[in-house]
Structure 1
C-alpha cells in the first residue's frame, strides 16, 4: 500500500476520511495502519504524546543488554568503556536520522517499506528475517532470565535458587514451566493483544521506572561500600599486552550494538505521534535517557563487583553483598529486573508480529483489521518463545552469534546501505563517509567478536578432554 502521509500533522476528520479513500495497494505500506488510516474503533485516537513515545522507545532500547554492560568494563576499563557507550549512542542517533530522512523522501512509513523501496522485495524480506531472528532470540532470552530469576537455574552442577524458591521452598507451582506459563497467560498475552504501540506507554513508563529502581539500589550499595572502604580501585583502561588481548576488545561491540537496537520500532512510534515532526526529539531524548542509565549501571556495577563482575551482572546478586539487609536488596534487584523484562516483552513483540505477518502475508489487508490473523500470529509467537525458554535453556550462546549478527544489520548495515544506494540523491559526502565507517566497523568488529566467542566456546568444550 502506498499511503501518502503528510509530514505536517492534522486532526481534521475530513482529512482522515479522504486519506482512507485514497489508499492504493503497494508494498511500501506499514504492516499496521497508522493513526490516519485506521478503521473503525480508533477514530478517537488523535495521536501519541511526546512522553508516551519517549517511554516506548526507551523501553525498546533498555532490555536485557543493560545487565551485560558492567562486564564490558572488565574488558575496556572504566574510561574507554564509558566513552564507547556514549559514542555508540551518537552512532545510533545518526543511523536513525538517516532512516527517517530517507523514509520521508521515499514516503515510506515502515522500515520494511524503506528497504523495499531501495532494494526491492528481497531487501524488505531480508530486513524482516533479521528482525525475526533478533527479536525471537531476545524474547526467548527474556523468558529464560525471568525463569532463572523466579524459579532458579542449575549451571555446571550448581543450583542457583530463584526468588520464589528462596521464599517458599521447592514446589510444583514455582517451577520454571508453571511460572513461565502463568507469566505468558497473565502478562504477555493481554499486553500483546493491544493493537497500538501507544497503548503500552504506561507499562513502558513503569518498565523504565523499574530499570531506575535497579540502578538506584546498585548505586546505593556501591556508595555504602565505598564509604566503608571495601571497594578496590577498578581498572581504568584496557589491559592490552598482545594481539589476542587487542582483538578481545572488539568482543564488546555486539553487546553494545544489541543494547541500542530500537530501529525496528522507530517507524511504528513515528506513525502514531500526534506531531511527527517531534520524532527526532523523541529519539534524542530516549537515547540520552538510556545512555545515562547505561553509563551509571556500567560504572557502579563494575565498581561494586570489580573483576568478579559476571557476564550477566544479575548473577552477582546471588551472593552475600556484605551489607545490612543484603538478602532483601538482592531480592529487590532481581524482582525489579524480572518485572522490567516482563514489561519490555510486548514492546519487542510488537515489531516481531508485524514483520512476521509482512513476511508471510505481504499482500493481505492490515493486520489490525483482521482479528483472526492477529490472534493466531500472536498466540503462535508467544507459544514459540514459551517453548524455547522451557526446552532450550542453553540458548544464550547461540544468540550471541545470531542475535548480534541480525542486530548489527538492523542497526547499522541496512541504514548505511540505504544511504549509499541514495536512490533520491539526497545523501551528502559526510553521510557517505559515515556510512562506510559504520559498515567497516560493524563487519570487522562482529567478525572478530564471533571468532573470539567461537574460539572461547570451542576451547571450553575441548578442555575436559585435555
Structure 2
C-alpha cells in the first residue's frame, strides 16, 4: 500500500479502517474529486457525501466523506459557538478601555470578518479534495511535514486553551465556595484547595464528556455553556445601571462600618480617599484611546475567534453536510459571539471606565465580594469554561491519532487512554507549574496565527488546482495576503512578549 493512499484512509473522528473493510461503501477517487470540485460549490448545495465511484483495482478505500453525520444544524452552531467562546470575554472590557469604543469595534469587526474568510478557505480546500481533517489537508498540501505541522499546532494551541480554563477553575472555584460558605480564607479545609478541586472537576465532569465517541453528542452541554455566558452578559448589563460612577471600594465601606475611634480623623482620610477616587475616575467613555497597553489588546482581539481546529470535526458530523451549510453554521456562530463580545465589553467598560481590571469579575469583587448575583455569575462562568474543555480536547485527541496512529481502526481503549493522558498532563501543568504564562504566550503567538491565518491560506494555494485558479487569480492573491497577515500577527505577538519580558510589564490578560 502506498504511503499517500494509506494517509487518506482515515475517518474524520480519528477512526481508521483497513481497505478490506466495508467494501460496500460507495466512494470516488482523488482524480474524480478534483475533476468534479465544482460540485461542492453548486448553488443547489449538492451533498459532498453522494455516491463515489470505485477505483481501478476494484477496492474502495474509505474517505472522510464516507462518514454519515448525524448532528443537527442547531447543535453544530452550539458546538462551534462554544469553541469560539473562551475565557477571553472576561478581558474584553479592559481591552475596550485601552482602545476606545470605536477602535475596539473596528478591530473586533475586522477580526470577525477575517475569521469567517479563513473558515471559507478551509472549507473550500476540504471540499475540493473531500477531506475534513485539518491534519490531512496539511498532508495533501505538503506531505508528512504539513500533516505534522498542523497536528503539532492544534495540540499546542488547544492544550494551552484547556490549561487556561482549568487555571480559572483552580483560582476561582475556591473563592466562590469560600464566599458562599463564609469560610475563613486562611483555613486548611480541603474543599478550599484549588488543586483538589481542579482534579475533582476534571474527573467528575470533564473526563466523562471527553469520552464521548463523537463531538456532536456535546451539543447539549455546549448549549448550556453558552446559556451560562448569556447569563453573564445579562448580569453585566444589569450591573451597569446599579453601580454608580465612581464606585466605592468595598474596603473603604468596611472601614467606615467598623469605625469606633478617631471619627474625625478617619472621616478626613475617607473623604480624601473618595476625592482621590473621583479624581482618578473618568466617567466619560472614550472613543479612541492609545496608551502603553493598547498594543497588548490587539492579540487578544485577533485571537478572539479561534475555533479553526474544531471547524472540520464539526463539519464532518453535520447532518447532510455541504460547504454552504457549514459556512452558515460558522457565520451564525461568529455573529452571535461577535454580538456577545461587543455587549460584554461595552457594558463592562461603561460600568467602570478607566478602573476596569484585566479580569472583569475581579472589578465587581472590589465593590462587594459577597454580592449574590456576582457569585452566581462566577459559578456560571466556571460552568461555561468547564464544559468547553471537552470540546477543545476532541481535536487534540484526533491530531494525536493522526500523527501516531494514522492507519489504526477506532479502538475504545486508545480513545479513553489518550483522553486520560491528556487530562492528567494538563492537571499536572496547572497544579505544579509555578508560572507558565510565558509558555502560553509563545504558544499563542505561534500556533494561533498558523491555525487562523497561515495554514488555511497556504493549504488553499497548494490544494486548489492551477487549472481552476492560477496563481494570478484574485482568490489566490487574497489567500497570499491572508498568509502574510498571519505572519505579521505572529511577529507582532512575539514582539509584545519580548517587550513584556524585558520591561516586566504584565499582559492584559485573557486570550482564547
Which TM-score applies when normalising by structure 2?
0.76
User: What do the CA deviations read for 1:273-326 (whole angstroms, capped 9, x no partner)?
Assistant: 1121211111111111111111111111222222222222232232115xxx97
Instruction: Give the match for residue 301 of structure 1.
Output: 348
2:49–2:321 CA contact under 8 A, matched in 1: no
Matched, 1:452 2:496: yes
The Cα of 1:194 is off from its aligned counterpart by 0.3
**Whose Rg is larger?**
2
2:454–2:484 CA contact under 8 A, matched in 1: no
The Cα of 1:114 is off from its aligned counterpart by 1.1
1:89–1:260 CA contact under 8 A, matched in 2: yes
Instruction: Give the match for residue 238 of structure 2.
Output: 220
1:210–1:336 CA contact under 8 A, matched in 2: yes
Partners in 2 of 1:305 and 1:316 — Cα distance? 8
User: What do the CA deviations read for 1:228-284 (whole angstroms, capped 9, x no partner)?
Assistant: 7868112210226xxxx5xx6443332123321111111111111112121111111
Partners in 2 of 1:383 and 1:68 — Cα distance? 28
Instruction: Give the match for residue 158 of structure 1.
Output: none
Partners in 2 of 1:315 and 1:351 — Cα distance? 32
Matched, 1:198 2:216: yes
May I ask how many residue pairs the two structures share in their alignment?
421
Pair 1:259–1:23, CA change in 2 (3 A): farther
Instruction: Give the match for residue 51 of structure 1.
Output: 74
Unmatched segments (≥5 aa) in structure 2: 1-7, 12-26, 29-38, 41-45, 248-281, 507-512
2:179–2:370 CA contact under 8 A, matched in 1: no
1:253–1:445 CA contact under 8 A, matched in 2: no
Alignment equivalent of 2:158, drawn from 116, 130, 135: 135
Instruction: Give the match for residue 232 of structure 1.
Output: 283
2:246–2:352 CA contact under 8 A, matched in 1: no
Alignment equivalent of 1:405, drawn from 432, 446, 455: 446
2:112–2:334 CA contact under 8 A, matched in 1: yes
Instruction: Give the match for residue 24 of structure 1.
Output: 61
1:251–1:445 CA contact under 8 A, matched in 2: no
Q: 328-337 vs 93-102, which deviates more?
A: 328-337
Q: CA RMSD in A?
A: 2.8
Matched, 1:336 2:380: yes
2:91–2:358 CA contact under 8 A, matched in 1: yes
1:143–1:389 CA contact under 8 A, matched in 2: yes
Partners in 2 of 1:108 and 1:10 — Cα distance? 10
Partners in 2 of 1:362 and 1:271 — Cα distance? 17
The Cα of 1:218 is off from its aligned counterpart by 0.3
1:141–1:395 CA contact under 8 A, matched in 2: no
Alignment equivalent of 1:283, drawn from 306, 317, 330: 330
Provide the secondary structure at the position in 1 that maps to 2:441: helix
Instruction: Give the match for residue 380 of structure 1.
Output: 421
Which TM-score applies when normalising by structure 1?
0.83
Matched, 1:318 2:369: no
Instruction: Give the match for residue 418 of structure 1.
Output: 459
2:48–2:321 CA contact under 8 A, matched in 1: no
Pair 1:214–1:361, CA change in 2 (3 A): same
